[in-house]
């Protein structure tokens, strides 16, 4: 977390949420990009500001499920995602405190386009199961 002083205001910024493209394309979080992921996007095309499990279909995280999301899934079709890569929310190659803090910051929230990376279980809610999954992978590298 960094602090920047702009005039009389202090701007707080958090580590970037940047799961790998391959991990984002895995909309059901089963660690392989399949036709099920493609169907999840197709079934929700046009949805704006999706929440819950539907938010996981907003692959590019722009707040709208569109053809761009579908193209991203098709591009990654058949790719597998390691457990470490799937939990590395900051996409820095290691599961560490930065990733754990992000899950903690969104704890007890419904999944949406902003916090979807913290929903490691893919159940549409960020809860103790996501924290437990993250804790079990702490220190893991990919």
d(CA 139, CA 82) in angstroms, rounded, equals 14
Q: What 8-state DSSP symbol labels residue 14?
A: P
Tell me the two tokens of residue 110: 């419904």
Listed in sequence order, the residues at least 6 apart from 103 whose beta carbon sits closer than 8 Å to its beta carbon are: 89, 118, 120, 126, 130, 131, 134
Query: In this predicted structure, what is the pLDDT of residue 17?
Result: 57
Token pair of 25 as six digits = 């394309």
Q: Give me the pLDDT at residue 113, please.
A: 87
Report the pLDDT value the prediction gives residue 99, as an integer from 0 to 100.
94
| Low-confidence spans in the chain with pLDDT less than 50 | 1-3, 5, 9-16
Note the pLDDT of residue 123: 95
| Residue whose C-alpha is closest to residue 137's, from 82, 79, 90, 74 | 82
**Beta carbons of 133 and 120 less than 8 angstroms apart:** yes
CA nearest neighbour of 52 among 10, 113, 6, 2: 113
Q: Distance (Å, rounded) from C-alpha 39 to C-alpha 119? A: 19
- Structural domains of the chain ordered from first start: 19-136 (1.10.1330.10)
Look at residue 6 in the predicted model and tell me its pLDDT.
Answer: 53
């Amino acid at each position: 977390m960094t602090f920047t002083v702009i005039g009389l205001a202090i701007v707080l910024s958090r580590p970037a949420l940047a799961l790998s493209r391959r991990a984002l394309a895995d909309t059901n979080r089963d660690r392989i990009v399949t036709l099920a992921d493609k169907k999840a996007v197709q079934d929700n095309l046009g949805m704006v500001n999706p929440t819950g499990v539907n938010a996981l279909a907003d692959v590019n995280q722009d707040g709208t499920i569109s053809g761009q999301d579908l193209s991203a899934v098709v591009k990654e079709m058949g790719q597998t995602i390691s457990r470490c890569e799937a939990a590395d929310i900051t996409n820095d190659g290691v599961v560490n405190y930065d990733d754990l803090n992000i899950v903690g910051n969104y704890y007890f929230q419904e999944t949406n386009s902003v916090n979807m990376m913290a929903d490691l279980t893919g159940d549409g809610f960020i809860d103790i199961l996501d924290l437990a999954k993250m804790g079990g992978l702490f220190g893991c590298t990919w």
